Structure 1
């Protein structure tokens, strides 16, 4: 760090790389030392001394050079003074730099983006619309025209659910930070449990842990899809076993069962592939409600061609968007795939399926999938025997839904009668 600062200081002072030859070199450098003139990076080769010296000190040693009869040659020039000479010869560069600085100053004096933090009930669009229509604050407004205290007061009065708000400018962005009033709801404070847990697949129960509710099945029981596993309704009975009260406690638990899952995929040797041509680009610049299009899309004389269309949208500033449309024409051609490649694809997808089971925590008991090769295709077929969670949350049972439909039919028939 110290070396960097020293080199930077010398660059601002400006220095020369000189070579001294002939005469009395020793006397010359002794005179420089006596006058506290610094020379650094000195090298001596074949009677020629090469070193660096500050520009101001170089003018001081002119009398020393004439006394010692040393020949001096300036090889390089470095520093701020020579950089200014370089700029004086290029007026266009000065004009460009000045114009760039003025443009940056002009653009930085405006607000180009509105940012909202802490809002959940009031959306960004709603707040932006209010600022634009009633406060005349929009993208491109001068920073000096924004009265933050007055704007904060108006927002608090207009939106009563805002308990605290702060408005500040940061760069070219207007930052609106706020806090909204939160209403405490005791019912939503605790996690809502489902009324029932039913089976989502057919299987045989191997493990069951009930945390809340009444279990309706046990280990080694065979269940079908839709069967009730845990009931979240608790019936309170008296001494005569009469139901006196029904409480909804919710159903919660972990149920694992042995299930069989079928696997069947076909891989044809004859497939179709796309042969792409050179892409065509179209750019659309949207500023508010105005849009400008550059480039061209598919021509009207190319309607018979098929294209893949890709769109990307870039947000440059608030209300300023750039859309890039890419059209790539292609031709569909038949393609034969070797039997070895088809078999490898089937093996890879089978391995991916097994890995997905492992990532989901599903235990594989049996893998009965086999890959069979035919003349024009390869088939991977069979089944997996798995141990997985089969519990599914539900608010109604299948029997209850059917009973509800029947009851509505009877009521409808009674009214007609």
Structure 2
């Protein structure tokens, strides 16, 4: 704080020689004349003193018989006086702070925290649809509306806090790990049909009438459990059928197969060792790239590091820069080796099984093979497993009264 005060008021750097400089410093202290940065030199002393102190120390200079010479005039007043004719310089400084102020009226960075179930890209896309994006005016930002909109659009988010700090929009989110309400169970009448073909291995019916048994071959769309319960009389005759919501655990043995065909020639990339380095600069939407020229016949891969200009912790500006790194490579073709074919086969099979497990298929048998076909080869992965295949299909039960009326009309029994 004292250094800032000295700079704003201006100060002098002095050089002292003479009979008794020590006496001069003692008298300055007695008369409350501020002296600092005192250094002893071979030819005398150097120190710093305020302008007022320098004007008031003239009697002390005569008493102590020293000579005082001004080496430098430092501080804001002297700086402005030396540059009083540089109008464009001060215009540039004024323009800089004016632009900085104008940039501070907008939001240039959006930061999300606490989101795990929803990605930042998903939330940013939703905010863009709501008109909230980088580059908007802070005066148009309604934090209460944003908080309410996020909670409405994403029910799993139970708490949202949005605030503007500097040129930064901070959005803090808390997600609910527990269901806020118990979902209502669907009890509408329906059948259970097969989602895919297979052989029934196990069926446990809790509601409805089973139409298949273990060992039966079923096709996709076939009714497995009917959502009708027959009602019989004393003579075991069906007098009515009660529609219910069919419910059962139905498992079947299913089969899956994937076939991938590849050219017998493997395209490889070889690094030539040549590199290119440059940088880019972006202001708002305008970007400039600076890279050495490259040959039109060569191929390059580029990576980029991006940084955003930040003056303070929450004061971001729409200025981006970074380094660009490029590596040259050549491509060539050669036949697949047996080891490469086996590696490719294992990779395809592992991905194939992972996709089935994600669907809930319990793998019981797996086989993968390679077939050569001239200049091509085919990888075939096959798997057998067990999975749940029952899916609800709603139906509209026939009204008993309507059925009786239709029967009477057909028989000609009109009253």
TM-score (norm 1): 0.46
Q: When you count helix as a share of all residues, which structure comes out higher? A: 1
TM-score (norm 2): 0.46
